[in-house]
Amino acid sequence: SERLVVTLDGPAGVGKTTLAKRLAEALGVAYLDTGAMFRAVAWKLGEGAWDWPEDRLSKVLSAMRFSLVGQGGDSRIALDGEPVGEEIRSETVARWASNVARLPVVRQALKQAQQDIGRGTSLVVEGRDMGTVVFLDAPCKFFLDATPEVRAERRMLQLRQSGQPADFDEILGQIKARDDQDRNRAVAPLKPAADAVIVDTSSLDVEGVFQKILAHIRGA
């Protein structure tokens, strides 16, 4: 059968990960989290790497090997053979990731790695530029959106449920700052592809968004 690529792009905290995993399970295809790749690079290089000279960055990036391990909704990114873990999930690492993600040399290396992983494989892929740059020919593109307030509220509840402290205003500030940087960068800014279906998730729960997207894919 034909290769299926579903792209899910959108701002921070909009629910891409939960949805992408469920869709991958339902469709029986792999799940690729490209945010995890930017986070893994940021984590490995550490704070301030975004100020390194380009040739130094280029050299370390060309030595990094990305792969996908595991099956379906459980598939995970591995860097140099090590599956990435919870250490990349902090808001600090997210901010570092957004800083390195502005650099053309980083975007170019990861775009190549993302396309290599996707070659010949059906997948649900989440990120910021999947429909606009990396998988331009994908037949099913979605852009998830919700107000910053709705996203901050969801993130706060998520954190509190997992027993972590969470302050609404602090989370809202972080979400807005990261979105601003991702939307306004020169290369591959966050925006919907011209042929993406825009799904406003503000008034829908996960199940509602899931059903809506699945119906689109099955009708496509």
Give me the residues that bind ligand C5P (CB under 6 A), please: 12, 34-35, 38-39, 94, 97-98, 101, 127-130, 178, 182
Which long-range contacts link 45-53 to residues 24+ away (Cβ below 8 Å)? 45/100, 46/96, 47/96, 49/96, 49/100, 50/96, 50/99, 50/100, 50/102, 50/103
CB of 17 to ligand C5P, least distance (A): 7
* 59 known ligand binder: no
Strand order in the sheet with 76-79: 66-69, 76-79, 82-83
Nearer CB in complex with ligand C5P: 2/51: 51
CB of 162 to ligand C5P, least distance (A): 17
Nearer CB in complex with ligand C5P: 1/37: 37
Nearer CB in complex with ligand C5P: 129/171: 129
CB of 174 to ligand C5P, least distance (A): 10
Nearer CB in complex with ligand C5P: 27/106: 106
CB of 219 to ligand C5P, least distance (A): 26
**31-56 as b/e: b if 16+ CB within 10 A:** bbbbbbbbbbbbbebeeebbebeeee
For residue 97, report the phi and psi dihedrals to the nearest 5 degrees: -60, -45
- Helix-, strand-, coil-residue percentages of the chain, each rounded to 5: 55, 15, 30
* 10 known ligand binder: yes
CB of 151 to ligand C5P, least distance (A): 11
Nearer CB in complex with ligand C5P: 116/215: 116
* 121 known ligand binder: no
* 104 known ligand binder: no
* 15 known ligand binder: yes
Strand order in the sheet with 197-200: 30-33, 123-127, 5-9, 140-145, 197-200
* 73 known ligand binder: no
Residues placed in the known binding site for ATP: 10-18
